[in-house]
Amino acid sequence: MEISSHQSHLLEQLNEQRRQDVFCDCSILVEGKVFKAHRNVLFASSGYFKMLLSQNSKETSQPTTATFQAFSPDTFTVILDFVYSGKLSLTGQNVIEVMSAASFLQMTDVIDVCKTFIKSSLDISEKEKDRYFSLSDKDVNSNGTEHSSFYSSSWQEESSSPHPHLSPDQGTGGVSGKSWSKYNYHPASQRSTQQPLAKHDQRKDSIKKTKHLRLSQPPEVANFKSSKREVRTYESSSHISQSEEQAQMDAEMDSGPVGYQYGQGSDVTSRSFPDDHPRMQFKCPYCTHVVKRKADLKRHLRCHTGERPYPCQACGKRFSRLDHLSSHFRTIHQAYKLICRKCKRHVTDLTGQVVQEGTRRYRLCNECLAEVGIDSLPIDLEAEQHLMSPADGDKDSRWRLSEDENRSYVEIVEDGSTDLVIQQVDDSEEEEKEIKPNIR
DNA sequence: CTGGGGAGGGGGCCC
DNA sequence: GGGGCCCCCTCCCCA
């Protein structure tokens, strides 16, 4: 026999105990404000606390204290209220900081809700939403919550390793003495967190990891991806009514715009970036990257969303940035080195072809091509297909091929002065499949 | 095994 | 705000 109200009642009781400071065995100090809580509850709700308390599980006799300085008491209030009630009070003003705090505290549910909240307000995310929420492998948890696919895939792929570099022992102040008192949370701008990856780009994992570790920063830094992975591995006890949450989020969205500006108020700026003067900052909701310009954030976000709106008209390979497409086109399709890779003789497009081998493209003269074998797929044939039938999502006239440009790739190659034809398209599923082999 | 080069990708920043 | 350039990094391939 099961009493359905038991869980909520229990949580209410715990929340009441917290308010009255009854049996609270944990103090969290956030910018001078002390929050009382129960270790058990924190342990069960946050991967961060779980690990910290696990490290100090033998020291249960002493009340513990944690100190955070990067997020505000208000933010932690939202977090703590969620822990004890399952209700997350998100607004356009606090969502970034709540998400940042949640990512540090490894609270997956909160992150997901924040992510959805932000995503729904992002103009660039419209088509991405379609992709992630309808086309890609949906990840629906027990509450019916949808997770963006790249998050879930990342977690699943690497769910085995406990985060190696997020250890309380490596903490900023370290875990002092018997407990984790003085365990400080570094400002977001100083953290090196792992960025969630686009699902198709697993290789970047190692790239970014190495890069970020090298660039940074204190070793105690929480790895964003691995943190979430860890949290997911743990059985999170923090539940949230998604329908309620969605309704709340919708209400929030209706109430006002959600900006990415991080630190509109000097309070936020000075808190999160203590070394900086109060100025406009744009913080990535997926990682701790901070940029000065909104356009740069928009560009940066593509590395998280996997959006590649710039397909190469010659080979179909897609790029997240126009300048990368231009660079690709110059180096690959406007080949300056008109020499046969094999015999090193000068070769034109009449006497040879551009051959693709894996990600490499090079020229071979017809003779060497015959020696190598007919099986080598001339890239030109493939490219011709693309040029002859531009992508369907060509909604913007400025991306359209001009009459002069709208000729076969063979023609273009023959004159040796191929012009870059740029076309911005939607990321439809079909196209995604079509070009997938080209995306590494 | 190693070093060099090609290619892709991300960030900063100027125009 | 977008385009574009520069710089840097990593991965991959090849000699």
Give A244-307 as a DSSP string: HHHHHHHHHHHHS----EE-SSHHHHHHH-TTSPS--EEE-SSSS-EESSHHHHHHHHHHHH--
Annotated domain spans of chain A: 3-131, 279-334, 337-370
Give A377-436 as a DSSP string: -BHHHHHHHHHHS--TT---GGGSPPTTT-S-HHHHHHHT-PPP-B------HHHHHHHG
A369: amino acid identity, one letter: L
The model's pTM is: 0.39
**Could you give the 3-state DSSP secondary structure of residue A66?**
strand
| Stretch among A114-118, A297-301, A370-374 having the lowest mean pLDDT | A370-374
The answer to whether A362 CB is within 7 Å of strand B is: yes
The answer to whether A214 CB is within 7 Å of strand C is: yes
**Which of strand C's nucleotides are less than 7 A from any protein C-beta?**
1-6, 9-14
Check if the beta carbon of residue A346 is closer than 8 Å to that of residue A338. Answer: yes
**Could you give the 3-state DSSP secondary structure of residue A181?**
strand
Q: pLDDT tens digit string along A274-318?
A: 333 445 677 787 787 888 888 888 888 888 888 888 888 778 888
pLDDT for position A113:
81
Q: At what angle do helices A224-233 and A149-157 cross, to 10 degrees?
A: 80
CATH code, residues A3-131: 3.30.710.10
User: What's the pLDDT band for A354 if we cut at 50, 70, 90?
Assistant: low
User: Strand B and chain A: which residues 216-255 have CB closer than 7 Å?
Assistant: none
pLDDT for position A396:
36
Secondary-structure class of domain A279-334 per CATH: alpha beta
The answer to whether A302 CB is within 7 Å of strand B is: yes
Check if the beta carbon of residue A228 is closer than 8 Å to that of residue A110. Answer: no
**What tokens does A335 get?**
């080949």
